[in-house]
Structure 1
Amino acid sequence: MHIEIPPFSILAIGPFSPALNTDNPPVLTIDSLSLDDAIAQLAPTIDITVAKDICPDGNIAVTVKRMADFKPKNIARNCLFIKELLAARTYVKKGGPAADLTAKYPRVASLLTISTPTKHLKSESKSNAIDDLLSIVDTGTSAGSTTQYFEAGSIENQVNAIHGKLLRAIFTDSNFRLMEAAWRGAELLLKQVPSGTRPTVNLKLVPLPQGDCLPIFDMLESTLADTPPDIILIDKPLSNTPRAMSELERIMDFAETMLAPAFIPISPKFLEISDWEELRSVRYIPGLLEGAEYGRWKTLVTNSGAGWITPCLGGIMARPMHLPEAGFSEVGFAESSPLWSSTPWAMGALCAKSIAAHGRPTRFSDRSSVRLENLPLTESPSPSPLEIILDTERLADFKQAGILPLAGTPGRDHVFVTGAITMDGGPLKFRMFLSQLTGFLIRTSLTGRDEIENIELDLSKAVSLFIQGLGLPIPDDLKIIANENNEGTIPLEISLTPAPEILPGNKKFTFGFNW
């Protein structure tokens, strides 16, 4: 019997196209070679409100069709007004009369100060004629071309100033930043996947629609019933509002139905603070969450679905901050704050790194061998790739509260985690292992039934080989009991004691599966 470990399946739900408004968004399956194809297929467009002194329409539309389009110098490729703006600059720079801009590029011309010829008195004309003659003698150029040269320079400076303001409007727009941060998160994850002929990670992206996001979980439960993911990444910050708690409850139900752990980031607002700088005012996280205002949270922690949820925190720097680029410095555009990708992307990236290093995701919290490295750093006295650096006491506080934070070392370009817990304080690695095991059983029941003649013996052998394929020891007490056939379905009782890496304490567990 030959058992091949399938690619680790990651489902990521996030703002890949913030303007999308549908209960049935596309499910995009990508790998490290097709991220650009996924963007091109979705072609997300953002409408951004801008001042009318930089665009007469008061609005610009920016479309992204590949990762390179997120660079400031490439924005013009898919933004019609910026493309028109730069075309006007090129026209004048190549010698075209500025006076023609009104006819050729009327929207751009309405923003510019364009000089027009004026009539001079005879005395002025005589004086100018002498000046022109001297100019020709001194420089060998005509007076008209000299005037045109300075006029072109004035137009170019005006266009560059407008271009810089438009770029600042784009790269500070909240929806554009959310969208780029999501795609950058996917890029970070895929960078951890080794190249090769056989894929080790399968990543599915689902755009999170505007407004009510709950209906998409109904769609995904139906779509992914036979191919459930191994983990779920939710790129939507969690607060402590009634709406957010309703969303969390639905995500818990979805994760439990899929039998796949879900990572969801908490926002500062969850802790009743405006940003992470105010975290110092919160003394003890577990004590805070015992307050009356967290009543719904405390109720959800006791639900069975809490064992499939890992709240997490700590944005990771998505890319270096934009500074004036070579050949593009005349625009003078530079960012004032970093772009942060949300925590679940880092968790997914660590799982992918664990698979590359150890053949299984459950070593993702082994900081000695699994960490994200060579990350961009903030510009500060203590540079870091993290939005917030927590000391040992704070890390312990959050983990005690059922929240898993990212960790790092000030001044170093790496990120790791120091634990593996779920919302109810349970063992996350066990849930990850159980997710992979049940996924294997589902696939075998659908496509490998021909090799399973004696269910108890043959399926036990298949499960043993699967566990061995993950690099884990085969449990000595693995046992499968097949109960009486019930209308074409055979209820199975499966019991085993996993390796201590998966479930400490030499604990045996039993679960059911309908074959």
Structure 2
Amino acid sequence: MPFRILALAPFTPQQRAPWSEAPIRIDKTNLDQVMEDLNLSFHVPISKDLCPAGGLTFTCKSLKDFHPDGLAQNNGFLKNLLNAKEFIKEAKAKGVSAQEIGARLRQWPDLPPIRVETEHQKPRRNSTSAVDDILKMVALPEGGPTPRAETHGFTAQIDSLLQRILSDVFSYQEFRNLEAVWRGTRFILKQGGINGEIELEIVPVSPETLDETLNTLVTRLIQDLPSLVIVDLPFDNSPRSLELLEKIAQFAETVLAPTVGWITHKFLYLDTWDDLKKLSFLPHYLDESAFAKWRRLTKTDSARWLAVTCNRFLTRYPYGPDNTPRLVRFEEPRHLWISPVWALGCLMSQSFAKTGWPTRFTEWQEVRLEDLALNRQDTSKPLATETYFAEERIQQFIRAGIMPLVAPQSEDMAFMPAETTVASGSLSYQAFVSRVTHFILWCKDHFKKDLEPVELQSGLERAFSLFWEKSGHPSPENLEISASKTDPQDRALVKIIIEPSRQVLPSREKAELEFIW
């Protein structure tokens, strides 16, 4: 029985209509094909002094297409600028004069005006001081600057156009969101151990379509339940966000799958995470009236199935000195942060790959994110996450029902040091119960019908023994399975009591389950 992760995220730009198709299976071999099939096209407004059309349309068929070089090569307008730049380089190598190159550029189709003022064009100024007289003595010879200097001016203007246009693209929030989602997807494929036993499926959603998409998914998933659901949409403490979180919790309870969402600093009414120091004790802060709807959510039964995390992480360095494009000169204005739901999904799948169970994801010595990029804005404290949380603050988050992603200073790694659910229960326990429940439902679908209670009990005991052995662990010492017919319709009542070993569930919390067979 595979460990199946279902990711709900804005995988497509401007997802206006709810997704009505089956989830899309994705792995390392078909990532680019899935991206191409989804037709990831988007339009970025650009100033008309840079682009006469007032905007550019891009289509990304793979993650390489989000790279500055990929954007420049695959967009007709930017490719034209690159071609003009290459022409200047080749013409200069052939000894073509700057005047002739300039004339050719003026006739170049769809090229913004390229102007380079030569010494011949500059107005002569009368000498006004002795300093001017000295400068004249060391000035360039008659004839003005060399052709190399003039052609460099042409190239510099094209580089400037490319830089300014790419800055607009990389500042466009829809583009950034789209790249971040697909970078998160690739990250979990690379470090989450996705293989035949661990599967990843995706469904495009937006804040506007999430509610209806969840309704549709319930009926689609009922015969093929996910083991874990991650929702990459940022939530704050607004009424709409709380409504959606409550809806997600109800969905999680229905499909019996632990589900993870994430909050931004705005959830705590902070301008940035740096302002967290203004809050003394987090659980007390969440007792204020502004968080009444949050507290109501934490008390619902479905909140046991919902986890909320925070603190985004980096998978690549900004383009610039530490990550230099080959074709264009460009420095990215901001870091590209990845939602922490991808981190938690990766850690739980790592746990499953290494132990056979998704329950030991807080054992950071063995289960952690590696090879991350670092934010070096504070050169004394490079960090792979948005902010640093001290141990005391981490415990406050956990008490408040929030799981922070944590990164040590100056190390390219991150991990989850502790776990909880919104209801302040155990996410590991819910993952354990989910796994066992899904197995029992599988048995119900595959066992012969109308088994007598004794046969049913014996069959379940054998199945459980094989199930545990396949996970790499012996059957639990404390496992009780009973079946009896007490139902008026002659249906069997199955009771299962399991006390797992510490290797399966670190807390060893007992699970008691009942099913009508």
> By the TM > 0.5 criterion, same fold?
yes
Change (3 A) 1:54 1:224: same
Give the CA deviation at 1:329: 6.1
Deviations 1:24-67 (A, max 9, x none): 26522112222222212213122211211111121111221112
Q: After TM superposition, give the deviation of residue 422 of structure 1 in Å.
A: 0.8
Give the one of 198, 209, 214 matched to 1:217: 214
Of 22-31 and 236-245, more deviation after overlay is shown by 22-31
Q: For residue 5 of structure 2, what is the amino acid of its counterpart?
A: I
How far apart are the structure 2 equivalents of 1:410 and 1:283? Answer: 23
Counterpart of 2:76 in structure 1 is: 80
Measured in 1, the distance between the counterparts of 2:258 and 2:305 equals 5
**Distance (whole Å) between structure 1 residues aligned to residue 488 and residue 106 of structure 2:** 80
CA distance in 1, matches of 2:42, 2:232: 18
Tell me the residue number matched to 2:8: 13
1:40 to 16, 36, 39: 36
Give per-residue Cα distances to partners, 1:85-106, cap 9 Å, x unaligned.
3234344554496555566523
Gap regions ≥5 residues in structure 1: 1-5, 119-142
Q: Does the alignment pair 1:161 with 2:160?
A: yes
Instruction: Indicate the residue corresponding to 1:136 in structure 2.
Output: none
Q: What SS does structure 2 have at the residue aligned with 1:203?
A: strand
Q: CA deviation at 1:388?
A: 1.2
Q: CA deviation at 1:252?
A: 0.5
Distance 2:247 2:4 in 1: 21
Match of 1:461 in 2: 462
Q: Is the 8 Å Cα contact of residues 69 and 328 (structure 2) preserved in structure 1?
A: no
Query: What's the counterpart of residue 494 of structure 2?
Result: 492
Structure 1 residue 423: Cα displacement: 0.8
Report the Cα distance in structure 1 between the residues aligned to 2:448 and 2:36, rounded to whole angstroms: 39
| 1:396 alignment counterpart | 395
- Contact kept? 2:485, 2:491, Cα under 8 Å: no
The residue aligned with 1:510 is: 512
Q: 1:328 to 1:343 in 2, by over 3 A?
A: closer
AA paired with 2:319?
H
List 4+ stretches of structure 1 deviating above 6 A: 450-453, 485-489
**Are 1:445 and 2:413 matched, yes or no?**
no
The match for 2:180 is 181
Contact persistence 1:31–1:201 (CA under 8 A): no
* Mapping for residues 20-39 of structure 1, pairs under 5 Å: 20-24=15-19, 27-39=23-35
- C-alpha distance in 2 between matches for 1:178 and 1:488: 54
**Which residue number corresponds to residue 433 of structure 1?**
432
Q: Which position in structure 2 is the counterpart of 1:112?
A: 114
What whole-Å deviation, never above 9, does each CA across 1:91-146 have from its counterpart, x for those lacking one?
4554496555566523x24x433899x9xxxxxxxxxxxxxxxxxxxxxxxx9xx9
Supply the distance in 2 between the matched residues of 1:266 and 1:311 (Cα, whole angstroms): 7
Amino acid at match of 1:105: P
Give the partner amino acid of 1:23: P
Please report the RMSD computed on the Cα atoms of aligned residues, expressed in angstroms.
Answer: 3.0
State the alpha-carbon separation in 1 of the partners of residues 502 and 89 from structure 2. Answer: 70
Alpha-carbon contact 2:7-2:231 (below 8 Å) kept: yes
Shift in Å, 1:278: 0.8
What is the alpha-carbon distance in structure 2 between the residues aligned to residue 389 and residue 326 of structure 1? Answer: 24
Tell me whether 1:250 sits opposite 2:247 in the alignment: yes
Deviations 1:149-191 (A, max 9, x none): 7765443322211111111111121111111111111111111
Aligned to 1:62: 58
CA-to-aligned-CA distance 1:177-211 (integer Å, 9 cap, x gap): 1111111111111112448xx62310011112363
Paired residue type of 1:434: V
Q: 1:70, 1:180 within 8 Å by CA — same for their partners in 2?
A: yes
State the 1:281 CA deviation.
Answer: 0.8
Secondary structure (helix, strand or coil) at the match of 1:477 reads: strand
For each residue in 1:343-368, what CA deviation from the matched residue of structure 2 results, as whole angstroms up to 9, or x when unmatched? 11111111122223222221111122
- Relative to structure 1, the CA distance from residue 28 to residue 104 in structure 2 (aligned partners, 3 Å threshold; closer, same or farther) is farther
Match of 1:342 in 2: 339
Match of 1:385 in 2: 384
Seen in structure 2, the aligned counterparts of structure 1 residues 330 and 441 have a Cα distance that, compared at 3 Å, is closer
Q: Residue 507 and residue 113 in structure 1: after superposition, are their counterparts in 2 closer, same or farther (change >3 A)? A: closer
Q: Distance in 2 between matches of 1:512 and 1:102?
A: 80
Aligned-pair CA distance for 1:247: 0.5
| Aligned residue pair count | 479
Conserved in 1, the CA contact under 8 Å of 2:359 and 2:431? yes
CA contact (8 A) 1:324 1:331 kept: no
Structure 2 SS opposite 1:346: helix
Aligned residue in 1 for 2:304:
307
| Paired residue type of 1:479 | I
Conserved in 1, the CA contact under 8 Å of 2:6 and 2:229? yes
CA distance in structure 2 between the partners assigned to 1:381 and 1:445 by the alignment:
58
* Contact 1:92-1:98 at 8 Å conserved across structures: no
1:336, distance to aligned residue in structure 2 (A): 3.5
Cα distance 1:424–1:101, how it changes in 2: closer, same or farther (>3 A)? same
Structure 1 contact 226–442 (Cα < 8 Å) conserved: no
Q: What amino acid maps onto 1:286 in structure 2? A: P
Conserved 8 A contact 1:452-1:459: no
Q: Secondary structure in 2 aligned to 1:54?
A: coil
Q: Which amino acid is the alignment partner of residue 74 of structure 1? A: G
Q: Please, which moves more after superposition, 6-15 or 477-486? A: 477-486
SS of the residue 1:478 aligns to? strand
Letter in 2 for 1:511: L
Counterpart among 226, 229, 235 of residue 226 in structure 2: 229
Aligned twin of 1:52: 48
Work out the CA distance in 2 between the residues paired with 1:210 and 1:381. Answer: 38
1:165 corresponds to which letter in structure 2?
A: R
Structure 1 residues 354, 477: CA separation in 2 closer, same or farther (over 3 Å shift)? closer
- Residue 298 of structure 1 is matched in structure 2 by 295
TM-score normalized with structure 1 length: 0.85
User: Which one-letter code corresponds to 1:389 in the other structure?
Assistant: Y
Query: Per the alignment, do residues 444 and 103 of structure 1 end up closer, same or farther by CA in structure 2, a change over 3 Å counting?
Result: farther
Which has the higher mean CA deviation after the structures are superposed, 327-336 or 285-294?
327-336
8 Å contact 1:32–1:193 — kept in the other structure?
no
